[in-house]
């Protein structure tokens, strides 16, 4: 199984930056895709950014040019660098991993970390 723990959320002024981290742990796993999702009050959960094991990335239109997703495979850690933050970026951010274990394809979610952007 894969256990995911997010960190790095907090309060940040609009226009500022924040870096989220997601530490992954587990044995005998093969992660194919990791991503960041977010859920703002009154809105559905949405994909923010994703990255494959090969390094390909995908971003929501709303964050393109501002956010960067990356991984440190040696540390089994996923990152989301968030720049030029806007009020609408306020949400709980969740780390997600799609992976294979013993021939099974599974998905794990972190508990989430709050990001609040203020004027």
pLDDT in tens, 58-99: 999 999 999 999 999 888 899 999 999 999 999 999 999 999
- Spatial neighbors of 5 by CB under 8 A, at least 6 apart, are 22, 23, 95, 110, 111
Q: Is 55 left (phi over 0), alpha (psi -120 to 50) or beta?
A: left
With contact defined as beta carbons under 8 Å apart, do 33 and 22 qualify? Answer: no
Tokens of 99: 């992976």
Q: Model confidence at 1, in pLDDT bands (50, 70, 90)?
A: confident
CA 74/CA 2 separation, integer angstroms: 16
Q: Model confidence at 118, in pLDDT bands (50, 70, 90)?
A: very high
Q: Over pLDDT 70: what percentage of the chain? A: 100
CA 116/CA 108 separation, integer angstroms: 24
């Amino acid at each position: 199984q894969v256990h995911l723990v997010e960190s790095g959320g907090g309060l940040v002024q609009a226009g500022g930056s924040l870096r989220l981290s997601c530490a992954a742990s587990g044995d005998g796993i093969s992660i194919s895709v990791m991503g960041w999702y977010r859920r703002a009050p009154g809105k559905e959960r949405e994909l923010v950014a994703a990255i494959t094991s090969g390094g390909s990335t995908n971003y929501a239109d709303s964050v393109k040019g501002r956010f960067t997703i990356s991984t440190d495979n040696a540390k089994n850690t996923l990152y989301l660098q968030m720049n030029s933050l806007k009020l609408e970026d306020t949400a709980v951010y969740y780390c997600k991993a799609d992976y294979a274990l013993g021939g099974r394809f599974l998905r794990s979610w972190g508990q989430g970390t709050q990001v609040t952007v203020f004027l």
